Amino acid sequence: MPDAIIDLAIFDEHGRCVPSSDLKAEVHRRTRRRFVCIQPEIDYSAIHSRIAGALNDDGGLSRDDFERQARSVLDKVSRDPATSGLAKGIHLPFFLPRMPDALSRDIGSDLDKIYLPAVEKSFLDAHPQSSYTRHHKGSLTGQLSVTGGSRHDRLLQAVSRTTVVGYFFLALQEYSVPASVEQVRRLPDTFLLAGGADTCAAFAGSPSLLLNPDAYPPLLWLAALSAEKLQTAYHLEAYGRNLTFNRRVHFDQAAEYWAAGLTVLAE
Amino acid sequence: MAATNDSVDSKLTSAELTKRNDLRSRKPYVADKLAQIAVMEERGEISPIIRLEKSYLCNFQCTHCSAEFYMDRHLEKTGVTDERRKMNMDDVRTLSRQADELGLARFVITGGEPLVMRDFDEVVAAIDPEKHYVITDTNGWFMDEARAKHIKSIGVEKAQISIDSFIEAEHDAFRNKPGAYKRAMRGIYACLDAGLNLIIQTVLIKGRAHTKEFLDFCEFATKHGIGLYVSYAKPTGSCTQHPEFVIDKEEADFLRELEKKYNVFTHMTPSYGSFKGCITVKGIITVTSSMEVTPCPYIDFSLGNLRETSLKEVLARGMRNPWLGPYRPDCLIGEDPQFIKMHTEKTADAKLLPLPWGQGFSDEDKLIP
């Protein structure tokens, strides 16, 4: 259950989640929108193809089913006045193939071996002149866990049962990582804080997310994943026309350059 | 400390590691401090380079000079008397000690033109090259073979020579000094021969990154194993009247592409395992001749005066400031129009720069007023 009563219009006209008034962790109440992404084109067929190719998925989910389920998510949030603002912000459909042992697998190892390579492949396929650099060289095995209260465990539960389809919304701009977790607890149950698998799948489907020739895009935290050390997290970040993955201490601070995503799964 | 150094060293390129090991053999204390920078950042501490502007005396009058409004010649021209107490050697020694206590490791002597300072050697000694990595900026005019060897002998590790075009006539015109290019090029070879580490500094005005001249310059620097440090033109100092010099995102991105091919970098380029983005306070501060501390060479707002406020508190003020402290990928004074506008408006009628703490920056600052 949410920790607080939900107000109408939880998301503003740019799809940003309006910070709850009682958040204790650091968040910017207002934003001047200095760091912004460009909404990628939603071509369900192309996105399906990119994700399937990047994750080596051999076709458990048809393109039509992907589109139908993803559209149902977007239609639902658009119809509800409290969440309709989300559709005006950055939104990316994605799917994750079923993984029966998802709940017992090592999250860091899966990022190392499955999801980050998927991001790299999709990004470089789409932008062969660009580069992907993994600045953090160490293995992630054993380094990551699901942050309590993030609801990201529900994504893993769902993936353990079936192939999941969902939408990733870049809605938590200028939230500290702890504020992202706090905020999710105040949202309807259907909203999950994005972690590694969902963020990477969404990125693999829309690999131009962090490319913006006219403005700097934000740094994208994998906010639902706790690192091996407090106040530390992992992220995707643009470097000009290129993509990087790195680890950074964030000291629970908010910054106008920082963002995290929300995930909503199809029912 | 060795185990930590090993982990930091693993993030260095082979060229960075070679330089670090050479320094470690000669100045282990300084090398260890440098190796600690990434570790400090992991703890939330900072180790900015300290730019020391003890004197603004200069033999050039450059079109884009960020220090012009600090210079005696400007104050004379505008009829302003500067009665602020100026930095002396005791101040430098005190600053060196405070910096060392905080783990800071690098000083850049700048100006003005450092090599016209009669007390240059004394300043180096006051900084203490056994405790800090000492760098000097220079326009290269006086950097001949003998001078390069001399400054190396007194403990300077690195020179940063400014050249603003690889085309001689353009550089001389930009610098308003015939012969400037030839002297700067002579300085490059003198520094290399003397065993000084060397970078070439160049100012990027809008459109320049796409020119043949710039690419030729990148090629030259790379071929000689010299880093080409590119500073975006900022709308401050002499450049205030040239907002058209300010680059856009496309050009900044293009420059990042050139980093893949050439030995070219900006202050936002990740280096030595550190990912700071805009380096205001986090990677650099400037101490002006009146002991005011500014967060970058181009921002004329003080974070405090070191005669009234400790270096530790000044740095803390900077890190808690919403413009300066948080990590950001863009150059605050070179790319953020809102900050540039505020900076231009606040400094427009100032008789003396920088604006003291409370008049430019303060603890009340907000990104959105």
Q: What is the pLDDT of residues B281-325, one digit of tens each?
A: 999 999 999 999 999 999 999 999 999 999 999 999 999 999 999
Lowest mean pLDDT among A95-104, B2-11, B335-344: B2-11
Q: What share of chain A is helix, strand, coil (3-state, %, to 5)?
A: 30, 20, 50
**DSSP element (H, E) containing B100:** helix B89-101
Tokens of B357: 């703490």
Contact criterion met (CB below 8 Å) for B315 and B46: yes
Q: Which residue among B42, B275, B336 places its CB closest to the CB of A135?
A: B275
Closest listed residue to residue A23, CA positions, set A191, A185, A169:
A185
Contacts of A41 (CB under 8 A, 6+ apart): none
Other residues' Cβ atoms within 10 Å of the Cβ of residue B159: 28
Q: At B193, give phi and psi (nearest 5°).
A: -65, -35
Q: How confident is the model at residue B242 (pLDDT cuts 50, 70, 90)?
A: confident
**CB pair distance less than 8 Å for B256 and A28:** no
Interface test with A, best of B327, B330, B340, B341 (most A CBs within 10 A): B327
Asked if the ipTM is above 0.90, the reply is yes
Instruction: Please give the Cα distance from B48 to B52 (Å, whole number).
Output: 12
CB A213 within 8 A of CB A256: no
Phi and psi of A260, rounded to 5°? -140, 165
Enumerate the residues of chain B whose CB falls inside 8 A of the CB of residue A135: 270, 275
Position B170: which residue type?
A: E
Token readout for A98 is 């079923």
Question: Domain segments of chain A: what residues?
Answer: 44-265
Distance (Å) of CA B52 to CA B92, B110, B130: 9, 6, 17
pLDDT digits (tens, 9 = 90+) for B39-74: 899 898 999 999 999 999 999 988 878 888 898 888
| pLDDT reported for residue B67 | 86
Please, which residues have CB within 8 angstroms of residue A185's CB and are 6 or more apart in sequence?
A: A2, A3, A149
How far apart are the C-alpha atoms of B175 and B192, rounded to whole Å? 23
Q: Is the pLDDT of residue B8 over 70?
A: no
CA-based nearest residue in chain B for residue A254: B326
Q: What is the helix (H) or strand (E) element at residue B193, kind and residue range?
A: helix B180-194
- B236 and B282 in contact (C-beta within 8 Å)? no
What are the chain B neighbours of A213 within 8 Å (beta carbons)? 249-250, 253
Gap from B67 CA to chain A (nearest CA, Å): 29
* B365 at A interface, C-beta within 8 A: no
- Mapped onto helix, strand or coil, the DSSP state of residue B256 is helix
CB contact under 8 A, A256 and B326: yes
H-helix or E-strand spanning residue B294: strand B293-294
pLDDT recorded at residue B241: 77
- Per-residue confidence (pLDDT) for residue B58, from 0 to 100: 93
Residue A110 tokens, joined? 């899966």
Rounded distance between C-alpha atoms, residue A109 and residue A52, angstroms: 20
Please say whether the dihedral angle defined by the alpha carbons of residues A25, A107, B42 and B262, taken in this order, is positive or negative: negative
- Of B135, B115, B110, the closest CA to residue B54 belongs to B110
B-chain CB neighbours of A219 within 8 Å are 327, 329
Give me the helix-helix angle, A197-205 and A44-54, nearest 10°. Answer: 120
Beta pairing partners, A173: A259
| Amino acid (1-letter code) at residue A167 | Y
A31: chain B residues, CB-CB within 8 Å: 368
pLDDT in tens, B23-37: 999 999 999 999 999
Question: What angle do the packed helices B180-194 and B168-175 form, to 10 degrees?
Answer: 100
CB B85 within 8 A of CB B74: no
Cβ-contact B306, B91 below 8 angstroms: yes
The CB-side HSE value for B190 (13 A sphere, CA atoms) comes to 23
Containing B201, the helix (H) or strand (E) segment is strand B197-204
Instruction: State pLDDT tens for residues B174-204.
Output: 899 999 999 999 999 999 999 999 999 999 9
| Cα gap A161→A159, rounded to integer Å | 5
Residue A244 Cα, gap to closest chain B Cα (Å): 11
Q: For chain A, say whether B369 makes contact (Cβ under 8 Å).
A: no
Query: Would you place residue B1 in the very low, low, confident or very high pLDDT band (cuts 50, 70, 90)?
Result: very low
* Residue A257 to residue B249, Cβ atoms within 8 A: no
Q: Identify the closest residue of chain B to A32 by CA–CA distance.
A: B368
